[in-house]
Every structure is written in structure tokens, then in C-alpha cells.
């Protein structure tokens, strides 16, 4: 195979965000744009001679073309073996699973997650390291620095690889192995959950299920595991064929974008469990019949009940949540006598805690839940966890959550997003708030007195690394909170996220409307931040 070293000029905008580099497809299709980023990763990795890398993506537009480029560049950079999911597909948690199981050096995951796909939409790429998790900030910062000075990249003249045939091919020094995208992941799930019990309940009809794959990557995984292995009736998985443009939809599993499922679950014909996953399969939304489980509650319920499931019978070492996620998990941890860590937003921050065996389970408000089985959040895993729980407890989803609130109290929780805000205006909103933080403690607004207000700073308890500017939080004396931050995953303008939380111990008050309960905090946040005037929007674009 002939190896070519091509000259290139740097792009200055290749800074990875919360989870890898995400941009419009058209940006990625610019000359050498993808090549520059991939070579920057190889340059930071150093010697990859003979090493194993995993490759796969969520199947969105440009996935296949990008994979062929990365295969040629891997060969030119001396990679020993590439493991690639059939069809170029691997869900993000499955990629993490394959990296770990096959002791790979790392892997490239091609996805812009929950962002829409298609020629005018989004594409993304991220590198995961040996533990199967997203590369830490030190690595992504080094890649960014490299991308700003890159002058050459290496590419091999390898023929196009048939991504749709399982088997081995040679691309110069690199063996390219096309693997079943689902198998390793499905094996792992079988070890964590009581497949026999779930299967009996599904076949007997004592549990009914609808899983919305949103035309994205989890279709093949859900069909194989839920329908073929566990015996859920055919049709339990809807929108199960991955499409390059996700059927024109927005593959984000929340009440707004997963509306087909949400409508079914709110109808009289609702099955017992409704669930959806996102573009790359790492997010999940859980619903019961006419009942929505907030992601913050979901991780708390899972932690409180983990001991009932085969993979977690030994108990939990500790748990973790991202800072804006509600404190429902902290209450469970306290009752169990285990540590609960508070990390910045971004799954990468859980990796060290999992590797150091400080935690077993973790979750985020952004529809992410996971455990030490892989180093990514895992959508289908969460669905199987809930299925197993419903089968063991023989209760509905709503009953399980209400019982949980009765025991621990309820954290009313909501996130308001203002999407597509002019970047300067969005930064102005955060700057305005930042300037007020020092004066807020001790001030009273209606029913709320500020206990403290700060710009969240994280010191990793494992390696001591420091992450600054991770969101502004205003914490009140009654434990309520308002958190403000800018999203790190958008590709157009800025997204201002405002998170609200109010704790209610009294079970008599657990049945109220969330937005109504949070109204005073919402009004306060809007007035302190001037978000409406400065964004020019009279309401949030998405409320979850
Ligand atoms: C990514 C990260 C998550 C994060 C989410 C939202 O998820 O892995 O840890 O919570 O983005 O981040 P932001 O609030 O900055 O937009 P995904 O599913 O997009 O890969």
C-alpha cells in the first residue's frame, strides 16, 4: 500500500466540546477538515504501530465516507488492527464495550449524538481511550492544540473496504475486521440483568413495552435484545431502522422530540414501560403509563434498587452525578452510607471515578445513566434496568417512583433551554450573572434566601486535575437550586441552559405540576439573568 504524506493548513475551530468535535456536515466535508482532526489525534496518541483501534458510528449522513478516510489514515499511521461494526455502525456504549472487551488501545466514534443528521445537519467525531471512555480534557486539549499547527497528514492508498460483510480485510499493515455490531454488547447485557425473568414477563404479557429507537442506532440493538432474545412482541421496537437523517427527526429522547412515544404513553393504550434512546444510543428516556420519569429521578431509583439485579447484587461502591443533575441521588447515597460525587457536565468526568472504583453507578439530567459495565452512558442498559426492576418489583413505573419519593422526598426538577442564541448575547447573560454571584449570599427573594452562589470548579479526586467555569449555581437555604450554563454540544449559536430544583419532603405535596411548583424560581432566574431580553426569546425553546 502506498502511503502519501499530504500538506494541509490548520483549521482553527477544532476544539472538542462536551463530547468530541461536533459541527455541521458541510464543515466536516471541507477539504482536509476531517483528515486534520484525525491526524491530530494520531499525533497526540504517538506510536500506534500494531495497536488495535475500534471504529464505528451512529450511521448518520457522512458516516461511511468518514470511516473510509479514517481506515486509510489508520493504515498510513501503522495501526495493527481495526475493529469496525458491520455497516460502519456501533452505538456509543457498544463501542465502549468493544474497546474494553478486546483490550483495544482506543477508538473513534462518529456521532453528533442527539443532534439531527443529513447533508445540512450535524456530524461529529470523538476519540475514546483504553478504558473505553471519552478522552479526558488533557487529551482533547492536546488534540486541539495540535490541530492549530498541523501541516501534514498521512493517508494510505487502500481500496474501499466493504463495511457490510463480516470478515477480515487487509489495508496495508492494518487488518480491518468487520464485526457484528451487537454481539459483544448483547453478551454483556445478559450478564448484568435477569434475562430469564424479563423474558417470562414479556412473553406472558405481564410487562408490555414500547421502545422508540428514533430511526437511530439503537434499532438493531433493541430489536436483537428486546424482541429476539427477550421475546417482546414484534413491533415493541418502533422506528427501528437507522436512517442517515433519522427520518428527518431530532434523535433526542425527551418529551418534545420523542413525541410519538410520549403521545402513546399518555394515551389510554399505553404499555407499562415506554423508552427511547438517542442518535448514538447513549441517552435514554423512561416513561410509565401516563407517567414521565425525570432522568435525575431515574438514576436515584436505579441506585436505590440496584441490589435487586444480578449485576449489582454486591452493592454499590459509590455514585456520581453531574452538578446540574438533581440531588435525588445524594439522598439515596446518604441513606445507603456511600459517597456521592458531584462532577461537571460531561460523561468523561465519571471515567476516573469508575476506574478508581470509587463509584458503580452514575447519571446526568441530560437523559444519561450508566454504570461501571462500560465507560459511556448507556441508553439500552437503562431500559433493561427498568424492565428488570418492574419484573422484580411487580409494580408499575409510576408506583416505583412514587414509593421512592415517599421514602426519600421528591426533587421537583426542570431544565429550560434557550437554543440558537447569539453567542455574544449568551456570553453576556452568563457574565451578568457571574458579576452578581459575590453579592447574592444572604439576599432573600420571596420564599428563597441565597445560601451560596458560585462558578462551579471541579477538582478530580483521583488525579487532582482542575476544571474551571463549569456552570453558575445559586443555592438557597432550603436546598433549592438554580444553575446556569452554556451547552457544549450545540453547533449553531449558543444554547443557554437553566436548571431548577426544589426539594419537597411532604408526600401530600408530591402530586403537583412541576412548572407550577418551580414558578417562583423560574421567574427569579429570568429576572437575574435577563435571559428573555438578551436572547430576544419570550420563552425557552425546550423545557424538559
Ligand atoms: C453529552 C455528554 C453529556 C452531557 C450532554 C449535554 O452527551 O456526554 O455528559 O450531559 O452532552 O451536554 P451540554 O449540556 O454541554 O449540551 P451526548 O449524549 O450529547 O453525547
**Residue 425 pLDDT > 80:** yes
- Whole-number pLDDT of residue 534: 95
114 lines ligand 1 (CB under 6 A): yes
The average pLDDT across 106-133 equals 96
368 lines ligand 1 (CB under 6 A): yes
Distance 166 CA to ligand 1 centre (A): 32
**Residue 141 pLDDT > 80:** yes
Instruction: Report the nearest atom of ligand 1 relative to the CA of 376.
Output: 8
489 lines ligand 1 (CB under 6 A): yes
What cell numbers appear for 319 in the block?
455514585
State residue 497 phi and psi, 5-degree precision.
-110, 130
Cβ partners under 8 Å of residue 269, min gap 6:
none
Count of Cβ atoms closer than 10 Å to residue 274 Cβ: 28
Distance 126 CA to ligand 1 centre (A): 13
**Residue 490 pLDDT > 80:** no
Q: Does the annotation mark 322 as catalytic? A: no
| Spatial separation of the C-alpha atoms in residues 39 and 136, rounded to whole Å | 18
Distance 348 CA to ligand 1 centre (A): 10
Contact 318, 360 (CB under 8 A): yes
pLDDT in tens, 201-226: 999 999 999 999 999 999 999 999 99
Distance 18 CA to ligand 1 centre (A): 6
- Whole-number pLDDT of residue 18: 80
**Residue 491 pLDDT > 80:** no
Catalytic annotation, pick one of 91, 111, 113, 296: 113
CA atoms within 13 Å, Cβ hemisphere of 77: 28
Distance 367 CA to ligand 1 centre (A): 9
487 lines ligand 1 (CB under 6 A): yes
pLDDT in tens, 142-153: 999 999 999 999
Nearest-10 Cα torsion for 392, 396, 397, 403: -90
96 lines ligand 1 (CB under 6 A): no
H or E stretch at 486:
strand 481-486
- Whole-number pLDDT of residue 214: 96
419 lines ligand 1 (CB under 6 A): no
- Whole-number pLDDT of residue 417: 95
488 lines ligand 1 (CB under 6 A): yes
Distance 150 CA to ligand 1 centre (A): 28
113 lines ligand 1 (CB under 6 A): yes
Contact 223, 240 (CB under 8 A): yes
- Whole-number pLDDT of residue 17: 87
Banded pLDDT at 489 (limits 50, 70, 90): confident
486 lines ligand 1 (CB under 6 A): no
364 lines ligand 1 (CB under 6 A): yes
Pocket test for ligand 1, best of 22, 124, 345 (most atoms within 8 A of CB): 345
State residue 543 phi and psi, 5-degree precision.
-120, 125
- Whole-number pLDDT of residue 256: 86
H or E stretch at 515:
helix 514-517
**Residue 388 pLDDT > 80:** yes
- Whole-number pLDDT of residue 516: 97
Pocket test for ligand 1, best of 16, 17, 18 (most atoms within 8 A of CB): 18
Instruction: Report the nearest atom of ligand 1 relative to the CA of 488.
Output: 15
Handedness of CA 122, 33, 150, 157 (dihedral sign): positive
Q: Report the share of the chain in percent with pLDDT over 70.
A: 100
Contact 482, 499 (CB under 8 A): yes
Distance 346 CA to ligand 1 centre (A): 6
Distance of CA 483 to the CA centre of its chain: 19
**Domains contained in the chain, CATH given:** 3-181 (3.40.120.10), 185-408 (3.40.120.10), 410-543 (3.30.310.50)
Q: Taking Cα atoms as reference points, which of 161, 528, 216, 539 lies closest to residue 379?
A: 216
The average pLDDT across 437-448 equals 96
- For the beta sheet containing 237-238, the strands, ordered from the edge strand earlier in sequence to the opposite edge, are 237-238, 209-212, 273-277, 284-288, 291-293
| Spatial separation of the C-alpha atoms in residues 453 and 434, rounded to whole Å | 9
**Residue 136 pLDDT > 80:** yes
**Residue 321 pLDDT > 90:** yes
Pocket test for ligand 1, best of 364, 379, 487 (most atoms within 8 A of CB): 364
Amino acid at each position: 500500500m502506498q502511503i502519501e504524506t499530504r500538506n494541509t493548513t490548520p483549521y482553527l475551530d477544532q476544539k472538542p466540546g462536551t463530547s468530541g468535535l461536533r459541527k455541521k456536515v458541510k464543515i466536516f466535508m471541507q477539504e482536509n477538515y476531517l483528515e486534520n482532526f484525525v491526524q491530530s489525534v494520531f499525533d497526540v496518541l504517538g506510536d500506534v504501530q500494531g495497536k488495535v483501534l475500534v471504529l464505528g458510528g451512529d450511521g448518520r449522513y457522512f458516516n461511511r465516507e468518514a470511516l473510509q478516510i479514517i481506515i486509510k489514515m489508520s493504515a498510513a499511521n501503522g495501526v495493527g488492527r481495526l475493529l469496525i461494526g458491520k455497516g460502519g455502525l456501533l452505538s456509543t456504549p457498544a463501542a465502549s464495550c468493544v474497546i474494553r472487551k478486546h483490550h483495544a488501545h482506543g477508538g473513534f466514534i462518529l456521532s453528533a449524538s442527539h443532534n439531527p443528521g443529513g447533508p445540512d445537519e450535524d456530524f461529529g467525531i470523538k476519540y475514546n481511550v483504553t478504558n473505553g471512555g471519552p478522552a479526558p480534557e488533557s487529551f482533547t486539549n492536546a488534540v486541539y492544540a495540535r490541530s492549530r499547527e498541523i501541516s501534514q497528514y498521512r493517508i494510505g492508498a487502500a481500496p474501499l473496504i466493504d463495511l457490510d460483510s463480516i470478515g477480515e480485510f487487509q489495508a496495508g499493515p492494518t487488518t480491518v475486521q468487520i464485526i457484528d455490531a451487537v454481539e459483544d454488547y448483547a453478551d454483556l447485557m445478559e450478564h448484568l440483568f435477569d434475562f430469564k425473568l424479563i423474558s417470562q414477563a414479556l412473553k406472558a404479557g405481564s410487562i408490555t413495552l414500547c421502545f422508540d429507537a428514533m430511526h437511530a442506532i439503537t434499532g438493531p440493538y433493541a430489536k436483537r435484545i428486546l424482541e429476539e432474545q427477550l421475546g417482546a412482541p414484534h413491533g415493541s421496537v418502533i422506528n427501528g431502522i437507522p436512517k442517515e437523517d433519522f427520518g428527518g427527526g431530532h434523535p433526542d429522547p425527551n418529551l418534545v422530540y420523542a413525541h410519538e412515544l410520549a403521545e402513546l404513553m399518555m394515551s389510554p393504550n399505553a404499555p407499562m414501560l415506554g423508552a427511547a434512546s438517542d442518535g448514538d444510543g447513549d441517552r435514554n428516556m423512561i416513561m410509565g403509563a401516563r407517567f414521565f420519569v425525570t432522568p435525575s429521578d431515574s438514576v436515584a431509583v436505579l441506585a436505590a434498587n440496584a441490589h435487586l439485579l444480578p449485576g449489582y447484587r454486591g452493592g454499590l461502591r459509590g455514585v456520581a452525578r453531574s452538578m446540574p443533575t438533581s440531588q435525588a441521588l445524594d439522598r439515596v447515597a446518604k441513606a445507603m452510607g456511600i459517597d456521592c460525587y458531584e462532577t461537571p457536565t460531561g460523561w468523561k468526568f465519571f471515567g476516573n471515578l469508575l476506574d478508581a472504583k470509587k463509584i458503580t453507578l452514575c447519571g446526568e439530567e441530560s437523559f444519561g445513566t450508566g454504570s461501571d459495565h462500560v465507560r459511556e452512558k448507556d441508553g439500552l442498559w437503562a431500559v433493561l434496568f427498568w424492565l428488570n426492576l418492574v419484573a422484580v418489583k411487580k409494580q408499575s413505573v409510576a408506583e416505583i417512583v412514587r414509593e421512592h419519593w415517599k421514602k426519600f422526598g421528591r426533587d421537583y426538577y426542570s431544565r429550560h433551554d434557550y437554543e440558537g442564541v447569539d453567542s455574544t448575547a449568551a456570553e453576556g447573560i452568563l457574565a451578568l450573572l457571574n458579576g452578581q454571584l459575590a453579592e447574592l449570599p444572604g439576599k432573600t427573594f420571596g420564599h428563597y434566601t441565597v445560601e451560596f452562589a458560585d462558578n462551579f470548579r471541579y477538582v478530580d479526586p483521583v488525579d487532582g486535575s482542575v476544571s474551571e467555569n463549569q456552570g453558575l449555581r445559586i443555592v438557597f437555604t432550603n436546598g433549592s437550586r438554580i444553575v446556569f450554563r452554556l451547552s457544549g454540544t450545540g453547533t449553531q449559536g449558543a444554547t443557554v441552559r437553566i436548571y431548577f430544583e426544589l426539594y419537597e419532603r411532604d408526600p401530600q405535596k408530591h402530586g403537583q405540576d412541576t412548572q407550577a411548583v418551580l414558578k417562583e424560581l423560574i421567574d427569579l432566574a429570568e429576572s437575574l439573568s435577563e435571559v428573555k431580553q438578551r436572547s430576544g426569546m419570550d420563552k425557552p425553546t425546550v423545557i424538559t
